[in-house]
Structure 1
Amino acid sequence: MVRLPLKQNLSALLKRMQRPGVGIVLVSTASLLVVVSLVGVTAEKDSGARRPSLLDLLNDVGKDKDSGRTIEGEPPVPPKALSWSSPLARQCSGIDPSVRKRLLQRKRTLSEQRKTIPADPTNFGTRYRRNPWGQPLNPDPRVVVLHETVYSLGSALNTFQTPHPRDEDQVSYHTLIGLDGAIVDLVDPLQRAFGAGYSAFLGEWAVTNAKFKGSVNNFALHLSLETPKDGHDNDKRHSGYTPAQYDAMALVLDNWIERFGFQPAAITTHQHVDLGGVRADPRSFSWADLQIRLAALGKLCL
């Protein structure tokens, strides 16, 4: 990606500094320097003392921007479909009444409980209806990719609110869920979050920039769980997520299923869709805990 001219960088900086709660950034005479926190996970990296950089963690996340031009030729062929057998099973009975009552009570006030903290516009984009070759794309959200933050919720929010002019630094999820069950929406589901780079689901991807390979971002919804403190590393496992997080996640998924009409079997993980073989999130995820809650909401008896 061509860097923005200094004048544009300074203009973006001035606008950024006018927002409440914006921290200090450093500007040199040659370029814009932004200090950010780290979000992401790679299980294959050595868990030494040095924390991986943003580029180590996110690699090519966000490298799927539309070039806005129609070009000649054919798009790259997506890889052979990787099988996905959903851990979520059909369930119409054996519902825990206490879980159902708790979730339905919270569902009635869900819109009031959700907090919106918009990601910086550089970190998300439009869902495209045509690829660079002029061929139609289906932008309808129809797969959910589950992630984890690796570091704190605040660290993730800082990253998403920081302008990233370079394609390779851009990243976002649609929704974050804190350890306490707080729901934070960052990108409108109708927009394209940059949650996965080189990726595909059941042999499908969308190429929106001829310079890069495809990803699921154009038709995916991205939901990320805040990682517990003992997971702020590259270990393969940690202590797991809280009951409050599973409650909140089930309610967000319930809302998305009702809104967009996809099947629960289309809920998958970053680890599964990643074609680079380095993602492992969300680590220590309990499909059984999600099963109990989605069944209680009536979403597994379809």
Structure 2
Amino acid sequence: MVFNRLTQIWKRLKSQVSHRGATVILCSGTVVLGMGALAWLSNDQSGALKASGPSLLDLLDEVGSEAKRERKNVEPTKQPLPPRAISWSSPLSKQCSGFDSKLKNRLEAQQRTLKDRRVSVATDPTNYGERFRINPWGAALNPDPRVVVLHETVYSLQSAVNTFLTPHPRDADQVSYHTVIGLNGKIVDLVDPHNRAYGAGYSAFLGEWAVTNPKIRGSVNNFALHLSLETPGDGANSRSIHSGYSSAQYDSLALVLTDWINRFGFTPAAITTHRHVDLGGERADPRSFDWDELQTRLAALKILCP
């Protein structure tokens, strides 16, 4: 289309030049708008042409505008449809009474010192990003954290932290959690909850995902909080179970979740697992997770009583 338009412009220019009696010498039959045309523009003949019609610059502006219109008409990558919703029935139930007073007192004491107990580590900027408010097709996205995805490290806490401290220029290698909890209950905050951690790839929760890169399938990362538990030593393998997480881990987990629920206003029913949100069927974490252990602690902290 643009080539045809340039041919038409060349014919019109030849006609105008012939009308004024000017002589144009073609240096190459294959170059239509080359350096010779630009040099010719710089002399006084351009004024003569302008008097009887559009100048070469005018015609080039015209064809440039037409090229832009053609580019706009090229259909962009289509926005993918959201995935089929997979129901989630939370293992956590309403509980307003019946909790252990000793457990309640222990957790409340830990809650008072929670801020001092948390350790912050600066994850490499390649491993996290900002939450998006608009997708690549101009549609609005809600970036508010409203689902928690539970994970496990598989190897040690320090191994996971070292991974997040390492720069990963390639998208496929980038990974992070907002918080990791060690076997001894240590809480390590790695990404600010207001930022987007790269905890889940191809994923969705209740049929919702966010596509933030047209070349990559959607995920929950834009509206999720990711929390990982350090895996016990006998879990550094691909088996479906291991010995489970420590009491100290469940204490810290309940405290961090209570803090997030109070800060962002989502319900305990939005606490789920990587296994559930994963659309590729490749994730199984957190293995051997005991929902009853979390239930008793969240109940004692009065989070499960509306």
TM range (shorter): 0.7 to 0.9
In the TM superposition, 1:61-72 aligns within 5 A as: 72=76
Give the TM-score, by structure 2 length: 0.75
Provide the C-alpha distance between the structure 1 equivalents of 2:79 and 2:305, rounded to a whole number of angstroms.
Answer: 39
Q: Counterpart in 2 of 1:33?
A: none
In structure 2, runs of 5+ residues without a counterpart are 1-74
Letter in 2 for 1:147: H
Instruction: Work out whether 1:294 is the aligned partner of 2:298.
Output: yes
Provide the C-alpha distance between the structure 2 equivalents of 1:261 and 1:101, rounded to a whole number of angstroms.
Answer: 24
In the TM superposition, 1:140-179 aligns within 5 A as: 140-179=144-183
Q: Counterpart in 2 of 1:124?
A: 128
Coordinate RMSD, CA, aligned: 0.9
Q: Counterpart in 2 of 1:109?
A: 113
Instruction: Work out whether 1:185 is the aligned partner of 2:189.
Output: yes
Q: 1:73 offset after TM fit, Å?
A: 5.8
Q: Counterpart in 2 of 1:283?
A: 287
Q: 1:140 offset after TM fit, Å?
A: 0.1
Give the match's secondary structure for 1:93.
Answer: coil
Q: Is the 8 A contact 2:77 2:214 kept in 1?
A: no
Deviations 1:93-130 (A, max 9, x none): 11111111000001001000000011100000000000
Letter in 1 for 2:139: Q
Provide the C-alpha distance between the structure 2 equivalents of 1:118 and 1:72, rounded to a whole number of angstroms.
Answer: 37
State the percentage of identical aligned residues. 69
Q: Is the 8 A contact 2:92 2:295 kept in 1?
A: yes
Give the match's secondary structure for 1:168.
Answer: helix
Provide the C-alpha distance between the structure 2 equivalents of 1:230 and 1:156, rounded to a whole number of angstroms.
Answer: 16
Give the match's secondary structure for 2:98.
Answer: coil
Letter in 1 for 2:87: S
Provide the C-alpha distance between the structure 2 equivalents of 1:217 and 1:77, rounded to a whole number of angstroms.
Answer: 17
In structure 1, runs of 5+ residues without a counterpart are 1-70
Number of residue-to-residue matches in the alignment: 232
Provide the C-alpha distance between the structure 1 equivalents of 2:104 and 2:113, rounded to a whole number of angstroms.
Answer: 15
Q: Among 192, 195, 217, which residue is 2:199 paired with?
A: 195
Provide the C-alpha distance between the structure 2 equivalents of 1:248 and 1:104, rounded to a whole number of angstroms.
Answer: 11
Q: 1:183 offset after TM fit, Å?
A: 0.1
Higher relative contact order, structure no. (Cα contacts within 8 Å, ≥ 6 residues apart)? 1
Provide the C-alpha distance between the structure 2 equivalents of 1:180 and 1:292, rounded to a whole number of angstroms.
Answer: 19
Letter in 2 for 1:275: L
Give the match's secondary structure for 2:200.
Answer: coil
In the TM superposition, 1:47-62 aligns within 5 A as: none
Q: Counterpart in 2 of 1:222?
A: 226
Give the match's secondary structure for 1:101.
Answer: helix
Provide the C-alpha distance between the structure 2 equivalents of 1:242 and 1:285, rounded to a whole number of angstroms.
Answer: 10
Provide the C-alpha distance between the structure 2 equivalents of 1:291 and 1:74, rounded to a whole number of angstroms.
Answer: 43
Deviations 1:196-230 (A, max 9, x none): 00000000000000011100000000000000000
Provide the C-alpha distance between the structure 2 equivalents of 1:138 and 1:258, rounded to a whole number of angstroms.
Answer: 19
Give the match's secondary structure for 2:286.
Answer: coil
